[in-house]
């Protein structure tokens, strides 16, 4: 058997010259070498040297094989499960090829991944049914922002089909720096209901320096004028002759509606049940304008999908920071016995 290098292995697998079962065999050989230091049988000295160079690109963490920070996926069944979690599930939101590929490839690796993702999305009934027609994008109005939650655009979407819980509008807020999106289901578009949710955002994220909104009565009411004045927030209102000044929020509304349409049942009266999952999907996907996900820019780390999170970690193994010093000072026997004597 000839020696192999990681680059040549990748190109051969993508071209179809190496079958997936053969790839799994190669990964198992790497796994065995990293675990026990055993070379594949029959390797010459030169082949062993090449093999060591290849395995140097891999690491073992908690019994799983990684290349860089990406976990290596060895079989198609697991690859499909990851695709379903990050694309098809409610938290996946049926994002397009580029965003789905970016979300998966930043966390996982398998040979032929890009082609698999493209093929599976093209076969996704929901994605094909609600596929957005190609059109020239409208240029976004440029605003100079330098920090998260400094400049926020808010908009109202609806009326939508009334849900069983009585909601028929969606209030959206988009941070112009990170592209982080907030959205709230509304039963009415009254100033009081809108103002309550704007306050809720402020309690969680702090006061923005400026809020951009349209000329609707919900946003220019005395209530919101007084609230912005009280909190020291500057307000900008889109001009009637230039309604697309706030088209970043219009794009947000469009993304939310299209994602919800792929998740709700035929009566469309349960869209409010999927709103949080849709927000998770939007926040976790890389944005074209920033090249980062809103979640990363907001929290300094990427989101953790269920496909990534460990499912077999016993709660008893977790030591919270405030408990660490306390536990270390106790009698180990008492800890094992739950503190009983």
Is the pLDDT confidence value at 323 over 50? no
Decide if 332 is inside a domain.
no
Last residue of a domain, one of 72, 90, 116: 72
Q: Residue 220: what pLDDT?
A: 56
Last residue of a domain, one of 35, 53, 72: 72
Q: Residue 295: what pLDDT?
A: 95
Phi, psi angle pair for 288, to nearest 5°: -60, -40
Decide if 155 is inside a domain.
yes
Q: Which residues of 29-58 are buried (b: 16+ CB within 10 A; e: fewer)?
A: bbbebeeeeeebeebeeebeebbeebbeeb
Decide if 165 is inside a domain.
yes
Higher pLDDT, 314 or 84: 84
Last residue of a domain, one of 262, 285, 308: 285
C-alpha to C-alpha distance for 10 and 62, rounded to whole angstroms: 25
Helix count and strand count (H, E) for the chain: 14, 9
What's the domain range around 272? 151-285
What would the pLDDT profile of 144-160 be if each residue is shown by its tens digit?
A: 788 999 999 888 888 99
Decide if 84 is inside a domain.
no
The region, left, alpha or beta by phi > 0 then psi within -120 to 50, assigned to residue 148 is beta
Domain containing 275 — which CATH number?
3.30.420.10
Q: Is the pTM of this model over 0.85?
A: no
What would the pLDDT profile of 58-109 be if each residue is shown by its tens digit?
A: 999 988 999 988 999 988 888 999 998 888 887 777 888 888 998 899 889 9
Q: In this structure, are 171 and 259 located in the same domain?
A: yes
Decide if 55 is inside a domain.
yes
């Amino acid at each position: 058997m000839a020696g192999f290098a990681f680059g040549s292995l990748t190109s051969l697998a993508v071209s179809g010259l190496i079958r997936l079962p053969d790839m799994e065999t190669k990964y198992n050989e790497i796994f065995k070498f990293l675990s026990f230091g055993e070379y594949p049988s029959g390797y010459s000295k030169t082949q062993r040297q090449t093999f060591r160079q290849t395995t140097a690109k891999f690491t073992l963490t908690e019994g799983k094989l990684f290349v860089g920070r990406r976990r290596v996926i060895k079989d198609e069944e697991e690859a499909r499960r990851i695709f379903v979690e990050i694309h098809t599930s409610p938290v996946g939101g049926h994002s397009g090829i580029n965003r789905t590929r970016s979300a998966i490839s930043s966390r996982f690796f398998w040979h032929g991944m890009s082609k698999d993702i493209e093929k599976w999305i093209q076969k996704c009934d929901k994605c094909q049914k609600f596929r957005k027609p190609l059109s020239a994008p409208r240029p976004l109005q440029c605003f100079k922002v330098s920090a998260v939650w400094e400049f926020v655009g808010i908009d109202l979407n609806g009326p939508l089909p009334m849900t069983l819980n009585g909601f028929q509008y969606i209030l959206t807020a988009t941070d112009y720096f990170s592209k982080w999106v907030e959205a709230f289901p509304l039963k009415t578009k009254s100033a009081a209901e809108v103002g309550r949710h704007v306050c809720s955002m402020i309690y969680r994220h702090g006061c923005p320096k400026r809020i951009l909104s349209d000329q609707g009565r919900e946003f220019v009411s005395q209530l919101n004028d007084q609230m912005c004045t009280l909190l020291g927030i500057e307000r900008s209102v889109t001009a009637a002759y230039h309604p697309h000044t706030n088209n970043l929020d219009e794009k947000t509304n469009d993304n939310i509606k299209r994602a919800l349409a792929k998740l709700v049942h035929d009566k469309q009266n349960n869209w409010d049940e999927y709103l949080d999952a849709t927000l998770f999907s939007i926040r976790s996907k890389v944005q074209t304008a920033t090249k980062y996900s809103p979640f990363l820019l907001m929290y300094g780390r990427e989101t953790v999908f269920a496909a990534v999170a460990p499912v077999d970690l016993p709660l008893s193994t977790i030591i919270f920071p405030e408990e660490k010093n306390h536990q270390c000072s106790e009698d180990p026997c008492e800890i094992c016995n739950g503190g009983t004597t």
